[in-house]
Every structure is written in C-alpha cells, then in structure tokens.
Amino acid sequence: MEKAITFQNVGVFYPKQGWSILRPKKIQEGYWALKDISFEINQGDNLGIIGNNGAGKSTTLALISQIISPSKGSVATYGHRSALLSINAGFSQSLSGRKNIILLGLSLGISKKVILEGMSEIISFSELEEFIDEPVETYSSGMKARLGFSTAMVLHPDILLIDEVLGVGDRNFKKKSSEAIKQKLRGNTTAVIVSHSEQTILELTNKALWIEKGVSMAFGDSKKVMEEYIAFCEKKTKA
C-alpha cells in the first residue's frame, strides 16, 4: 500500500518569552503541545483522532496541512493535496462566500477554471444559495463550516482533514455530510477526522490515534482504541 501520512517522533513546542528573576536575561518558557508522536497511515486509510480538550488533536491536523511545522521530528504527506475543514477555517471575512470558495480551491492547488465549473454544485450542496454573495463575516459558524465542507467535497482533495465540522449544522445537513464522506471514503481519499463523537469515529474511520496532553496513548484499530479511551475517561470520572 502507498503511504499517505507519516509522523516520526514529532514534537511541537509553543514558546513564551519570559524574564529570569535571578539573572537579567530572557529565558524561553512554554509548553509541548505534542511530544514524540509517531504513526503511519496508508492511502485510503481513515484516521480518527481522539482525546480530551487541549490534547493536541487540532495541532496534529495543522501539521498535516502544513499550517505549522514540527519543532522536532518529521511529518510527510507524500505529495498529496490536503484540505483542512475547521469551524475556525481561515476564511477572508470581508469577502463573499462565492469568492471564498475560489480562494479555498486555489489554496488546494486547483485551477480557477475547475473551481468555477464546480461552483454551482458547491453552492447547492452547502444550501447557502441565499447568502452566497454576502460577506463571510455575516455567516454563523455553522454556515462557514458548511461552506468549507461543501467546497472540499466537490473539489476532491487527496487528504481530507476534518476538525469537528461534522458536529455543526442542522440534523439533515449532518446526515448529508456523513453520507458524502462515506461515499468519498469508498474511493481512494484519505481522511483524518477529529471528533468527540464515538459514533462518528466508529462509522467513518478504520484507525484511531488517542492523544492525551500531547502524548500518544494508543494507535491502531478504531474500535479497540475507542474502547481504551472510553475506559480511561470513565475511570477518570470516578476518581
């Protein structure tokens, strides 16, 4: 099988500058968001990333999408084009939904001609026809999520990165989104999904990575890893 994503002893340090009380010089403070994370998935694998808030899940997605670089170790995506779908996706707030579709498509390395050819389908899938020429700053978080999700669904990235987006929107759109992902994942698309939903992870992924306070706790079969995670959370609640 062809590799899709590889992490080798990856660490991410977020520095914070401070001053030493004992000596008049700057010292580097901060924390490790990820510590020595290693895993590998193949093309067509679907990886769920689970863990409590602040575990390092979104940082892992940011590394895969090359928004940030590791402080140590290496991340490889083997030349595949990736799309990060996040509630806090980097839209240009003053531009319309239509223009943001073009910007997102271009950021994926897709030609403007292909983006424009898919524009009607993207708008239709998003169900935002009434608002598509309004500034994105007037959109709710759910509307922004639908815009980004619909763009990536139609423009076919090789690696689909989803950060809690499936939890946004009304019941019908959530169902439509899940079905669209299932259809896409039957092909050769690789997906990495961050979600707190046990059902989402078990339905849409075959592998899972559990991160706790930046440390990899388990990696492997989704069902097995999810069972370990749930048992950990229940034990923590009773303690």
* Within-domain flag for 128: yes
The number of folded domains in the chain is 1
Confidence at residue 21, expressed as pLDDT on a 0 to 100 scale: 54
Which residues span the domain enclosing 93? Answer: 83-157
Average pLDDT of the residues in 170-195: 77
CA gap 235, 196 in Å, rounded: 17
Q: Which CATH number is 142's domain given?
A: 1.10.8
Q: Is the pLDDT of residue 169 over 90?
A: no
Rg (CA), the chain: 19
Q: Over 90: is that where the pLDDT of 218 sits?
A: yes
Q: How far is CA 136 from CA 2, 37, 76, 133, 148, in A?
A: 38, 36, 32, 9, 11
Judge whether 120 lies within some domain: yes
Q: In whole angstroms, give the CA distance from residue 14 to residue 187.
A: 37
Residue 126 lies in a domain: yes
Query: What band does 168 get if pLDDT is binned at 50, 70 and 90?
Result: low
- Give the tens place of pLDDT for each residue, 129-152: 999 999 999 998 778 888 888 887
The three-class DSSP label of residue 104 is helix
Does 77 fall in a domain?
A: no
Q: Is residue 230 part of a domain?
A: no
Give the pLDDT confidence of 85-142 residue by residue, as tens digits.
665 566 888 999 999 999 888 877 788 998 999 999 999 998 999 999 999 999 987 7
**Dist CA 145 CA 137 (whole Å):** 13
CA 104 to chain centre: 15
C-alpha distances (whole Å) from 158 to each of 80, 147, 188 are 6, 19, 8
8 pLDDT more than 90: yes
Write down the mean pLDDT value for the chain. 85
Q: Is residue 117 part of a domain?
A: yes
In a domain, 234, yes or no: no
Residue 84 is predicted with a pLDDT of 65
Please indicate, yes or no, if residue 97 is contained in any of the structural domains: yes
Give the least confident one: 35-39, 40-44, 153-157, 222-226: 153-157
Q: What is the pTM of this model?
A: 0.78
